[in-house]
Amino acid sequence: MNTQRALVIAGISSIALATPAMAQDNEAFTGPRIEGIVGYDSTRPGSSTDIDNVDDVDQSIDDVAYGVGIGYDFAMGGAVLGVEGEWLESEASTDYDTTNFDDFGVANIEAGRDLYVGVRAGVLATPRTLVYAKGGYTNARMNVLASDNTTDVGTDVDLDGWRVGAGVEQVFGENFYGKLEYRYSNYEEGEFEAPSGLESDRFDVDLDRHQVMLGVGYRF
């Protein structure tokens, strides 16, 4: 009986000691943070609008993207939950020669700013390594130029959609961290905005966006 009681006491003691240790581990991933991000950005038509039967048409725009992000994370037992926001710019664009257009048509598209707000949830792979998934709302802008070789007309297209992703975050030193993240976005609605500020009715779209991003940040 004394042996069994000793084992029970030892087990309870180990749990009591492990719980504060787990909470202490989570402290490396709690609180406010700010980060700079850079990586690869690719946007193309979704499955409902993809031109599958024309092999020589490049439908994607691809290039480097860069921006800043902010967030706040909370320790929840052995997990980490957080809210986050992001401002991203992209260099992705088409490279059509506008002098080849005889009539008005879409001549060039440039990816503009990309806004995101969402949540993430992760677990500790090690005391200083977090593996997480994320999801939320994204709003992107595409800058569109049409030309007939005499007159250029520029307009913006604002796109609303959703984003999901996953990544790994590693703590360095006291407050610094780095991360590698993949995310997929799909835009389902859009509207045109003319230079005069006049906006069109909302319309359906189907655009896929893939991004692989590296980030370096500081946690306060």
Per the structure, how many domains does the chain have? 1
136: closest CA among 116, 118, 159, 160? 118
**What is the residue-level pLDDT of the chain in tens, covering all 220 positions?**
455 454 444 443 443 444 444 445 678 899 999 999 999 999 988 765 555 555 555 578 899 999 999 999 999 888 999 999 999 999 998 876 555 555 545 567 889 999 999 999 999 999 999 999 999 999 999 888 766 666 667 778 899 999 999 999 999 988 999 999 999 999 999 887 766 666 778 888 889 999 999 999 999 9
Smallest Cα–Cα separation from 219: which of 23, 74, 72, 66? 72
How far from 214 is each of 29, 159, 165, 169, 197, CA to CA, in Å?
17, 24, 13, 10, 35
Predicted TM-score (pTM) of the model is 0.77
Q: Which domain holds residue 69?
A: 2-219
CA separation, residue 8 to residues 5, 95, 203 (Å) = 5, 71, 65
CATH assignment of the domain containing 196: 2.40.160.20
**Contact yes or no for 192/157 (Cβ under 8 A):** yes
